[in-house]
Structure 1
Amino acid sequence: MSTTTALPAAGNGSQAPATAAPGTLRGDPRGRERAAWLLAAVVVLVLLTGTSLAVGARDVPLGTVWQALTAFDPLNGDHAVVHARIPRTVLGLLAGGALGLAGAAMQGVARNPLADPGIIGVNAGAALAVVAGIYLFGVTTFTGHIWFAFTGAAAAAIVVYLIASLGREGATPVKLALAGAALSAGLSSLMNVILVSSQDTLDRFRFWQVGGIAGRDWSVLLPGLPFVAAGALVVLLAGRTLNSLALGDDVARGLGQRVGLSRAVVALGVVLLCGTATALAGPIGFVGLVVPHAVRFLAGPDYRWILPLSLVAAPALLLGADIVGRVVLLPGEIPAGIMTALIGAPVFVWLVRRGKGAGL
């Protein structure tokens, strides 16, 4: 994995100054274009949300969906189907938004356009913690998975940051990437040792490992809401910080940034978002990698726009993948984690070949 140490001019050749007025059209000459993309993403997300409530093994007309939401009749079978799909749709919105924000922030912290939250060992830490919870404590519920996965993700991120901070230069992007890759390999090996030694643990774990948003209810979603909200707040407020970090550590220090502290705060937001999303929906790949890349291709390198656009576009991708997975193999379905890989991989290859989305 390669990293860049400065803000390249790849793509449209523009870079947003860290001192520009945040989020205003006056300080951002491309503000109207970016606002139009954000509005379009919101419209697409609303449409996909409605489609998620309507489409499945039993299709429901959109008019009936609206009636089920505004005037629920418990004796109406279509209304019951719509209400059964609400937790699944809400989870798609939460997990997708969390993964999109986490991916965009991680690429900014690591200054690596091919980075995703897995670079700091979040997914590996969450997976090992879930396996340990199943093997040692017999955890079988999704609510139990939440706490183990979140704890594992946070612990892995802290260990990676501490290892990368050793030495005179501190936690540089290269050291973060190397420490994250090494820890991920080690944690994955430990997880495989447990899985090989316990068939029962393997049987329970494999359903979570695939990644998906089906089969969850409010008892799973509600415990994760505070973590997602806190992580989203931390990351969304870090747009100007990420712009400064993208210019390089020396320039960021010259602009008054405390580079180590800034990276630690943003990394905390990433852990909250990605750890909770992984706990709720399993290790869903490509969402945190492809969406920020596509957003950067459309809106440029300014993180004050990349972050909110990723927050909206990522759940649209996850819901779209889930909807396709419901209908391609009726009466069965393909988990969303598999569909995001099938959809995201060719899109990512196209973006990289175009070249404009590859630079930070």
Structure 2
Amino acid sequence: MTTVEARPDLRRRPTRRPPRARRLLGLVLTAAVLALLAYLSLAVGTRTTGAGAVWDALTRYDPDSTDHLVIRELRLPRTVLGLLAGAALGLAGAVMQGVTRNPLADPGLLGVNAGASLFVVLSITLLGVTSPRGYVWFAFAGAAAAAVVVYGVAALGRDGASPLKLALAGAAVGAAFGAVTTAFLLVDQATFDQFRFWQVGALAGRGTDVIAQVAPFLLVGCVAALFLGRVLNTLSLGDDVARGLGAHVARSRAVSAAVVVLLCGSATAACGPIGFVGLTVPHVARMIVGPDYRWALPYSMLLAPCLLLSADVVGRVIARPGEVQVGIVTALIGAPVFIALVRRRHVSEL
């Protein structure tokens, strides 16, 4: 009787790349796309310039060159602001959705936009502030004040600041602040004329002085948000499970809310209210990497400025020789994308 020796299968089986490697590769590719969009933001506009002019303007600046002046004085500040504000809005949206366990939450849920708008109107009406540089501190103070009121109202009662109570308190405070803002605008035409340019949401008209004012808050907020991945993963399991795992739920929510105010308040103060970025981008990030916030947060930080810069570039070229402000373009781009995303059940659920 002969025995047949089993031969080992010498065919090489394809090895699957581990999820971590794929996610890291996705981050690198997203960063490359963001770098390309940053270049387009410097090169494209009413006056289109080439790659050589962009590089020369950054490395060998000639104040007598019109192209160099346009790039350094106009396009570079709005590109840097788009990078910072986009990252802040993306992270703020992801943190807000994680804290409230609400896929429709955005940074405005804590009343940040309403508070910033009210304080900007008050600064124009009562103090005669007329420049974005002057708006910044009032908008930031208004955003912080609104968030404190919302969190204080939601914290009343036995359960503390639960996700549902945060959403309800945010809606109530936002409506109240919005009513007061509208009342001021209706009785003062001059205030309305000043306020509408900030309210539409724009990257244009903000110089390096505005960036210098908000950059420290944006950078600190971004770093702090990236460390909240494990906290948000724990909160997403529910309050009872989170407590069982040793998490301090109230403190975690308070810290997360403070980070949202820091990020969204700074971005709103500098650019005005810009919608759909903080709402849509976290859904795209979770569609790519799943519900793990340790990955969703860095993806949101890179994807959001991609959306903001692409919207800014589109706004410059669709209405030449003028331009459409970025807040309008993000709404036109973000609304259809968000509708398509929420129709997919596994994306809309947290």
Per the normalisation by structure 2, the TM-score is 0.94
Structure 1 stretches of at least 4 aligned residues deviating more than 6 Å after TM superposition: none
Q: In 2, distance between residues paired with 1:258 and 1:228?
A: 26
1:146 partnered with 2:136:
yes
Provide the rounded CA distance (Å) in 2 between the counterparts of 1:119 and 1:216.
26
Cα RMSD for the two superposed structures:
1.1
- Please, which runs of 5 or more residues in structure 1 have no aligned partner? 1-27
Alignment partner, residue 25 of structure 1: none
> Which deviations, in whole Å up to 9, do the C-alpha atoms of 1:147-174 show, x marking residues without a partner?
1111111111111111111111111100
**Aligned partners of 1:183 and 1:353: how far apart in 2?**
30
Q: How far apart in 1 are the matches of 2:219 and 2:66?
A: 34
Instruction: Report the 3-state secondary structure (helix = DSSP H, G, I; strand = E; otherwise coil) of the residue aligned with 1:279.
Output: helix
Where does residue 122 of structure 1 map in the other structure? 112
Contact 1:234/1:266 (<8 A) preserved: no
Q: Does the residue aligned with 1:89 lie in a helix, a strand or coil?
A: helix
Aligned residues: 333
Structure 1 position 355, deviation (Å): 2.3
- What is the CA distance between 1:356 and its match in structure 2? 2.5
Deviations 1:122-165 (A, max 9, x none): 00001001001111111112121111111111111111111111
- 1:214-260 Cα shifts (integer Å, max 9, x gaps): 01101111010111122112211111000000000111111111100
Q: Which has the larger radius of gyration?
A: 2
Matches within 5 A, 1:183-202: 183-202=173-192
Is 1:234–1:265's contact at 8 Å kept on the other side of the alignment? no
The aligned counterpart of 2:30 is 41
Match of 1:102 among 75, 92, 110: 92
Counterpart residue type for residue 207 of structure 1: F
Residue 29 of structure 1 deviates from its aligned partner by: 5.2
Partner residue of 2:157? 167
Alignment correspondent of 2:5: none
Whole-angstrom CA distance in 2 between matches of 1:34 and 1:357: 17
- In 2, Cα distance between equivalents of 1:351 and 1:104: 15
C-alpha contact 1:293 1:351 (8 A) present in aligned 2: yes
After superposition, the C-alpha distances for 1:72-106 in whole angstroms (9 at most, x for unaligned) are 22222212221121001011111111100100000
The correspondence for 1:157, drawn from 123, 136, 147, is 147
Aligned equivalent of 1:67: 56
Kindly indicate whether structure 1 or structure 2 has the higher relative contact order, using CA contacts under 8 Å at least 6 residues apart: 1
TM-score, normalised with respect to structure 1:
0.91
**SS across alignment from 1:356:** helix
SS in 1 for 2:343: helix
What fraction of aligned residue pairs are identical, expressed as a percent? 59
Q: Matched residues in 2 for 1:52 and 1:356: separation?
A: 34
Q: CA deviation at 1:298?
A: 0.9
Describe the superposition over 1:175-198 as per-residue Cα deviations: whole angstroms up to 9, x where unpaired: 000000011111100000110111
Offset from partner CA, 1:289-345 (integer Å, 9 cap, x none): 000011111110011111111111101100000000000010010000000000000
Alpha carbons 1:100, 1:287 under 8 Å: kept: yes
Distance in 1 between residues matched to 2:193 and 2:278, nearest whole Å: 27
For the residues of structure 2 that align with 1:284 and 1:62, how far apart are their CA atoms? Answer: 30
**Structure-to-structure mapping, 1:209-288, within 5 angstroms:** 209-288=199-278
Secondary structure, counterpart of 1:45 in structure 2: helix
Supply the distance in 1 between the matched residues of 2:211 and 2:76 (Cα, whole angstroms). Answer: 11
**Larger displacement relative to structure 2 (85-94 or 63-72):** 63-72
Structure 2 unmatched runs, 5+ = 1-16
- Are 2:284 and 1:294 equivalent residues in the alignment? yes
Quick one: which of 275, 295, 301 aligns to 1:305?
295
Q: Tell me how far apart the structure 2 counterparts of residues 41 and 270 of structure 1 sit (CA, whole Å).
A: 23
Shift of 1:63: 2.0
Instruction: Kindly provide the amino acid, as one letter, of the partner of residue 71 in structure 1.
Output: R
Letter in 2 for 1:82: I
